[in-house]
Structure 1
Amino acid sequence: MAGFVETNPTRDAYWRSIILFGRNSASYKFALGKALLEAASHEKNFVYLEELAEPYARNLVDHLRRTDRQGTSPSSRFLEVCRKFSRGEIDKDELLTRTARLGFVNVIDAFHNVNQAETPVRFFVDERGARGGISLTDELLSLKEDFQYGNLNHEVEARWRLVETAWSLDISPSLLVARYDPAVGGIYVEPSGARRVDVTSCKDALNGYQKGRCFYCSSDISVEAGHEDLCDVDHFFPHALANLLPKHRINLDGVWNLVLSCQGCNRGKQGKSARVPAIRFLKKLHRRNEYLIGSHHPLRETLLTQTGRTEAERRSFLQEMESFAIQNLVSRWEPSDELRPVI
């Protein structure tokens, strides 16, 4: 009997693990991630802290203007520097000088930590002591050659917005209950007694967890507007069922039922349309939802609320939906061409 073959993660998989599953006590990791992607686009091998400070501080200032709460701690010397810049109390030169001195104290050391361990692939080498900056590794510089590179900045931004929204509402990111608005393709929250808060693009939020691949055929997809491979947000159980379901109990626009697909699978000549996907895709949907719940993703509470508090309840919920869907829509669908799934 043949043995198992070890599969090694791809470069973009390591990057996504850092952004999606690293600890979030402040938003510095997201700002550094965006700054690193920007540096990689300029093909630099070494970046002084003074250079890195500009995109790093710029992104933090932009987010502070959107949401003042950027961490779990009530105070931060560095974030206060960014606020002073926003208020016009210091100029840009002073902002960058203080960013180089205060902004990277912990984030550079912690960036590659995921699940209490260092990732075996590193995207930069810390040379602050010897050279006053960081060396960008081939792994980071090679990312820009990958198809997925164009998606990564969108994914960092989406994750950042989900986390900061939870902080601003003074709740744990794992307790954030989010909703999907199909009219604008966005995720929003609506706190009790408060107005709706638009959070992020649904595509950007979900793409990293599908590794930039179509949910059905596993072909490459993009979340960049105008890209020829721009993905669709697809309702796994077709929206045609909406008028047949009790709206107060089952929301087909819920995150539990949303996947990203290529245009061909969603609306091409042989696309899914209002048909029910083959049963293997229901198993895949269940695995995806359990993965998000188990990783304490910011959408975790949304999934628990929509599908059940226990794994058994969630499995039963999907099975009931499957039975209801096929009894009403009768036709099953699967893609005509399917690449090997990316694990």
Structure 2
Amino acid sequence: MSRFYHVEPSLDNYWRSIILFGNNVASYKFALACSLYELANSSNDFISLEQLAVPFSRHICEHLKDAPKQTTAKSSRFLATCTDFNLGKVDQDYLCTQTVRLGFQNVIDAFHNVNHREVGERFFMDERKTTNKGIRLTDNFYTLMASQAINSIKPETNARWRLVESAWQLGLSRNLVRVEHDHDSKQLFTRLNERRVNITSSRDSLNGYQKGRCFYCFGHITIESGKSDLADVDHFFPWVIREHVPGINGIWNLILACRSCNRGENGKFTQLPHIDYLYRLHARNEYFINSHLPIRETLMQQTGKTEALRRAFLQGSYNQAKVQLLHSWKKPEPRGLMNF
């Protein structure tokens, strides 16, 4: 059984792997990605560290206002400078100078690394050892920026950043981190001392893991509001049987689907998906677990600490759902698209 990341090794998939699965010991990777989005229209493919420092430091400073913890390290001179800037203790010039000195020490080196190896395509080259000192954007980056996928990738980046920093900000044991879904607002949230803390849009968080495809038919979907192909946030096990399936509002049970599959003519609606889709859900959840904090910890709490326990949980849930709903639904799949 293949997984999502075996599908379509395209540039947007490589980029999403970096954002979703790169090591998260600080939020600098997200700030660098957001900065590159802004600099894509630069007249030169060479970006000096001084140029990069402006949006990079701004993104970090903006996030520090809402989430003071942006790294797992006990201290950071760079983040201390950003905090001082927010407090008005240092000016913009000093902030940018310190960003050039301290802000890029690890993130440029590690940006393309996923699971201790470099991904198959590069989006910039490191030219900090040259006279000019900076990075050079590659054709891959410009191709990505010209693609339709970038309209979804940008909010996905911010959603992933919010998820990671929310887990750090809680300061809780990983075993206590729990991310939940609000059925009405379609928001992911967590709880701190019984207080609800909103994190980000469920659509924005889930879309990267499905590579912008419908879970059922693999057709293209988007997370752009107002678009005709805006994805539905769907409960794999329908919401109507929430009293019979434990934790039905958990991330493990949330998928993105096109409107046709979810509520179009001959759509799923409140029917139980065919058991073939259950294998796909299991593969998707195992893929989620590779993204680590906080989704990994949440899924393991909700469905089991081992792959065998998680598989058994899904089978048990399916058995319960089948008793309640009786019939199952399956949409004919066009040939030659993709397999999970």
TM-score by length of 1: 0.91
User: Could you tell me how far 1:239 is from its partner in structure 2?
Assistant: 0.8
Contact 1:237 1:276 in 2 (8 A): yes
Decide which moves more: 88-97 or 332-341. Answer: 332-341
Q: Residues 74 and 286 from structure 1, CA distance in 2 versus in 1: closer, same or farther, beyond 3 angstroms?
A: same
Tell whether 2:320 aligns with 1:324. yes
The equivalent residue for 2:83 is 83
User: Could you tell me how far 1:82 is from its partner in structure 2?
Assistant: 0.8
Q: Residues 225 and 285 from structure 1, CA distance in 2 versus in 1: closer, same or farther, beyond 3 angstroms?
A: same
Tell whether 2:134 aligns with 1:133. yes
CA RMSD of aligned residues (A): 2.0
Q: Residues 162 and 174 from structure 1, CA distance in 2 versus in 1: closer, same or farther, beyond 3 angstroms?
A: farther
User: Could you tell me how far 1:146 is from its partner in structure 2?
Assistant: 2.1
In structure 2, what is the Cα distance between the partners aligned to 1:82 and 1:293? 32
The equivalent residue for 2:168 is 167
The equivalent residue for 2:151 is 150
In structure 1, what is the Cα distance between the partners aligned to 2:182 and 2:295? 15
The equivalent residue for 1:115 is 115
Contact 2:175 2:301 in 1 (8 A): no
| Aligned AA (1:226) | G
Tell whether 2:266 aligns with 1:266. no
The equivalent residue for 1:60 is 60
Aligned-partner SS, 1:259: strand
The equivalent residue for 2:29 is 29
* 1:60-88 Cα distance to aligned partner (Å, 9 max, x none): 01110010011011211111111111111
1:286 to 276, 282, 288: 282
2:247 to 246, 251, 261: 251
| Gap runs ≥5 in structure 2 | 1-5
| Aligned AA (2:89) | E
| Aligned AA (2:217) | C
The equivalent residue for 2:217 is 217
The equivalent residue for 2:3 is none
In structure 2, what is the Cα distance between the partners aligned to 1:44 and 1:223? 31
| Aligned AA (1:138) | D
In structure 2, what is the Cα distance between the partners aligned to 1:43 and 1:187? 38
Aligned-partner SS, 1:129: coil
The equivalent residue for 2:96 is 96
Contact 1:41 1:144 in 2 (8 A): no
Aligned-partner SS, 1:144: helix
Contact 1:167 1:173 in 2 (8 A): no
Aligned-partner SS, 2:109: helix
In structure 1, what is the Cα distance between the partners aligned to 2:153 and 2:290? 22
Larger relative contact order, structure 1 or 2 (CA cutoff 8 Å, min sep 6): 2
Contact 1:166 1:172 in 2 (8 A): no
Tell whether 2:297 aligns with 1:301. yes
Decide which moves more: 61-70 or 126-135. Answer: 126-135
The equivalent residue for 1:235 is 235
Contact 2:252 2:285 in 1 (8 A): yes
Contact 1:162 1:173 in 2 (8 A): no
Contact 2:304 2:310 in 1 (8 A): yes
| Aligned AA (1:129) | K
In structure 1, what is the Cα distance between the partners aligned to 2:279 and 2:43? 42
User: Could you tell me how far 1:122 is from its partner in structure 2?
Assistant: 0.7
In structure 2, what is the Cα distance between the partners aligned to 1:152 and 1:124? 17
| Aligned AA (1:245) | H
In structure 1, what is the Cα distance between the partners aligned to 2:213 and 2:95? 40
Aligned-partner SS, 1:265: helix
User: Could you tell me how far 1:161 is from its partner in structure 2?
Assistant: 1.1
Aligned-partner SS, 1:245: coil
Contact 1:174 1:296 in 2 (8 A): no
In structure 2, what is the Cα distance between the partners aligned to 1:235 and 1:19? 25
User: Could you tell me how far 1:286 is from its partner in structure 2?
Assistant: 0.6
The equivalent residue for 1:3 is none
| Aligned AA (2:49) | L
Contact 1:175 1:300 in 2 (8 A): no
In structure 2, what is the Cα distance between the partners aligned to 1:94 and 1:301? 39
Aligned-partner SS, 2:216: coil
Paired residues, number: 333
User: Could you tell me how far 1:336 is from its partner in structure 2?
Assistant: 4.4
* 1:216-244 Cα distance to aligned partner (Å, 9 max, x none): 111111112223321110000111112x4
User: Could you tell me how far 1:112 is from its partner in structure 2?
Assistant: 1.1
Contact 1:124 1:135 in 2 (8 A): yes
Q: Residues 152 and 312 from structure 1, CA distance in 2 versus in 1: closer, same or farther, beyond 3 angstroms?
A: same
Q: Residues 262 and 80 from structure 1, CA distance in 2 versus in 1: closer, same or farther, beyond 3 angstroms?
A: same
Contact 1:176 1:300 in 2 (8 A): no
The equivalent residue for 1:189 is 190
Q: Residues 145 and 43 from structure 1, CA distance in 2 versus in 1: closer, same or farther, beyond 3 angstroms?
A: farther
